[in-house]
């Protein structure tokens, strides 16, 4: 139950499981829609005025039929919640990736109205950031005098990642609540002021897609649009080398 035509294509390793869960929920909703629709049509004819000229105020006395169906729906919902949704949530959201050292580490900082991307560079260490250094040319306040920051790469609204490698994003925001949304990666996470939230996924398809803000964050919310490009291993390294070469010495 994956590959629904109304969903964006899936480019992440965990996407099929989420799509399958969504499929089960839609099948349940379809069954409820058909069932309640059929009962509604039945009630229109069964209790029409021509057959019941005098209204009855006592109602039904036997509730076994409705109790049986309501219990069946509740059991199915409990199975979906406990058997599928909770384990999936634990796997995707609460358990960190098994080998964080092999993951691509990125900081994503939202602001009105852009996504600021920060890579640690070849040394794998993020440089120091200082709020006093924040300006239009340095939105993250990166301190280039810090030895760890000399090879750091920063971009605005441009997220580049390698394919078939775990990505670990530390998500935060400079101002209001934003929502980091990668539809093709099946990733959506609110960015909360004062909190750094880990988000991890593994791209399995190379290509370009969009980054959206799924939370109304102000009058310029519609402009908060970024782009994700997933490269093969060589393409990602070439891009990173080109960015490092442009860093002022």
Query: Is 44 in the same domain as 159?
Result: no
CB 135 within 8 A of CB 186: no
Among the candidates 94, 123, 140, a domain finishes at: 94
| 202/81 same-domain check | no
The answer to whether residue 112 is domain-embedded is yes
Same-domain status, 21 and 137: no
Q: What are phi and psi of 44, to 5 degrees?
A: -60, -40
- Note whether 128 and 146 are same-domain residues: yes
Q: For residues 105 and 82, state if they share a domain.
A: no
User: Taking the CB of residue 46, how many other CB atoms lie within 10 A of it?
Assistant: 10
Q: Is the preceding peptide bond at 113 cis, omega within 30 degrees of 0?
A: yes
Strands (DSSP E) contained in the chain are 104-111, 114-119, 153-156, 158-162, 167-173, 178-182, 187-191, 197-201, 207-213, 225-231
Whether residue 5 is predicted with pLDDT greater than 80 in this model: the reply is: no
Mean pLDDT, range 218-222, rounded to an integer: 92
* Cα 166 to Cα 185: distance, rounded to the nearest angstrom: 12
Distance in angstroms (rounded) separating the CA atoms of residues 249 and 84: 52
Strand partners, 105: 168
Q: Which domain does 152 fall in, by range?
A: 100-245
For residues 230 and 166, membership in a common domain is answered with yes
Look at residue 245 in the predicted model and tell me its pLDDT: 86
pTM, full prediction: 0.82
Helices 64-78, 15-46: inter-axial angle, 10-degree rounding = 170
Task: Kindly state whether residue 2 falls inside one of the protein's structural domains.
Answer: no
Domain count, the chain: 2
Written in H, E and C, the secondary structure of 19-83 is HHHHHHHHHHHHHHHHHHHHHHHHHHHHCCCCCCCCCCCCCCCCCHHHHHHHHHHHHHHHHHHHH
Who contacts 169 (Cβ-Cβ below 8 Å, separation ≥6)?
106, 107, 108, 180, 198, 199, 200
The contacts of residue 123 (CB under 8 Å, 6+ apart) are 148, 151
Shared domain for 77 and 106, answered yes or no, is: no
Residue 123 lies in a domain: yes
pLDDT digits (tens, 9 = 90+) for 53-104: 777 777 667 677 778 888 888 888 888 888 888 887 777 777 667 677 788 9
Residues 90 and 104 in one domain: no
User: Do the domain assignments include residue 193?
Assistant: yes
Residue 167 falls within a domain, yes or no? Answer: yes
65 with 166, same domain: the answer is no
47 and 161 co-located in one domain: no
Which residues, at least 6 apart from 125, have a Cβ–Cβ distance to it below 8 Å? 148
Encoded tokens for 41 = 């049509």
Choose one of 38, 72, 94: the last residue of a domain.
Answer: 94
* Residue pLDDT, tens place only, 108-156: 999 999 999 999 988 889 999 999 999 988 999 999 999 999 899 999 9
Domain boundary among 94, 110, 142: 94
Reported as a pLDDT band with limits 50, 70 and 90, residue 1 is: low
- Please tell me whether residues 230 and 107 are part of one structural domain: yes
Is 5 inside a domain boundary?
no
What average pLDDT score do residues 234-242 get?
A: 93
Distance (Å, whole) CA 27 – CA 201: 27
Is the Cα torsion angle 66, 67, 69, 73 positive or negative in sign?
positive
CATH number of the structural domain spanning residue 202: 2.60.40.420
- In angstroms, the CA 156 to CA 139 distance is 9
In angstroms, the CA 206 to CA 11 distance is: 8
The residues that bridge with 107 in the sheet, in sequence order, are 118, 170
Residues 111 and 56 in one domain: no
């Amino acid at each position: 139950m994956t590959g629904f035509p109304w969903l964006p294509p899936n480019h992440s390793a965990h996407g099929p499981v989420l799509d399958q869960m969504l499929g089960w929920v839609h099948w349940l909703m379809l069954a409820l829609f058909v069932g309640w629709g059929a009962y509604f049509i039945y009630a229109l004819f069964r209790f029409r005025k021509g057959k019941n000229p005098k209204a009855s105020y006592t109602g039904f006395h036997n509730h076994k039929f409705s109790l049986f169906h309501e219990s069946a729906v509740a059991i199915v919902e409990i199975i979906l919640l406990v058997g599928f949704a909770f384990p999936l949530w634990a796997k995707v959201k609460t358990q960190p990736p098994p080998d964080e050292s092999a993951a691509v580490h990125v900081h994503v900082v939202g602001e009105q109205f852009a996504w600021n991307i920060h890579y640690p560079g070849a040394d794998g260490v993020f440089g120091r950031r200082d709020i006093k250094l924040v300006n239009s040319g340095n939105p993250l306040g990166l301190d280039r005098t810090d030895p760890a920051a000399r090879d750091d790469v920063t971009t605005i609204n441009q997220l580049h990642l390698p394919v078939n490698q775990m990505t670990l994003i530390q998500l935060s925001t400079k101002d209001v609540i934003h929502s980091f949304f990668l539809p093709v990666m099946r990733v959506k996470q609110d960015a909360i002021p004062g909190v750094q939230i880990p988000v991890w996924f593994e791209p399995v398809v190379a290509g370009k897609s969009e980054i959206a803000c799924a939370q109304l964050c102000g009058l310029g919310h519609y402009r908060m649009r970024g782009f994700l490009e997933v490269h093969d291993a060589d393409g990602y390294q070439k891009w990173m080398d080109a960015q490092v070469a442009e860093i002022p010495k």
